[in-house]
Amino acid sequence: MRKYLLHILIISFAFISMPVINSAEEPHIALQEKLVFFTPEEADELRHTTEKELRDTEKLMPIMRLRSAPKGPHIYINEPPLTHTDGVPTILVLKQLHPTLLVKFEANQAPVNMESLQIKGKKGIFSKSITDRFIPYIKGTTIEAEDMEMRNGNFILQVKIADVNNNRTDKNYRLIVKDK
């Protein structure tokens, strides 16, 4: 008898805790919006309009003089392609190609802590965090976004990530966005 009551109780709880579905409602698919790197206002504030401005911002960034390789996670920017301009890691985005972003973070000495991720746009001594915009596009230890919305110009991006032991990797990238 006790077993019988226990089964009824479990089945009743299962039915009570199930969400109510109204058959009159039509199913819908939530489409993910485009990843917006910078709003028009932010782009105006963070855009480097001259080569001197760009170089001045790069001079303010800490120079990494490492005696050994960084202990924090590895950052691999697969799309858009990463190149080097004047020794600076550079991300070139051509907007007519419907830009896609694919960034992978790989463990070095310990597993990656994705909650430590920080992404900022920088100009001179000013910076603007845009990390929250990337959160919906995180899949495991990868950021994946298709057909991004981007503004033309030269920008500096700063990416910081740590592992579960708080070993950090900080990298600065020059971001160049143009139509062709």
Residues 48-81 have pLDDT tens digits of: 888 777 777 777 665 544 445 678 999 999 999 8
Give me the pLDDT at residue 20, please: 44
Give me the pLDDT at residue 2, please: 59
How large is the average pLDDT for residues 133-153?
A: 91
- What pTM was estimated for this model as a whole? 0.74
Give me the pLDDT at residue 25, please: 41
Does domain 33-178 match CATH 3.30.1360.200? no
Please, are residues 156 and 173 in contact by the beta-carbon 8 Å criterion? yes
Q: In what order do the strands lie in the sheet with 112-123?
A: 82-85, 88-94, 168-178, 153-163, 112-123, 126-129
Closest to 169 measured CA to CA, from 62, 78, 57: 62
CB atoms within 10 A of CB 24: 5
Name the band, by pLDDT with cuts 50, 70 and 90, for residue 161.
very high
Domain extents for the chain? 33-178
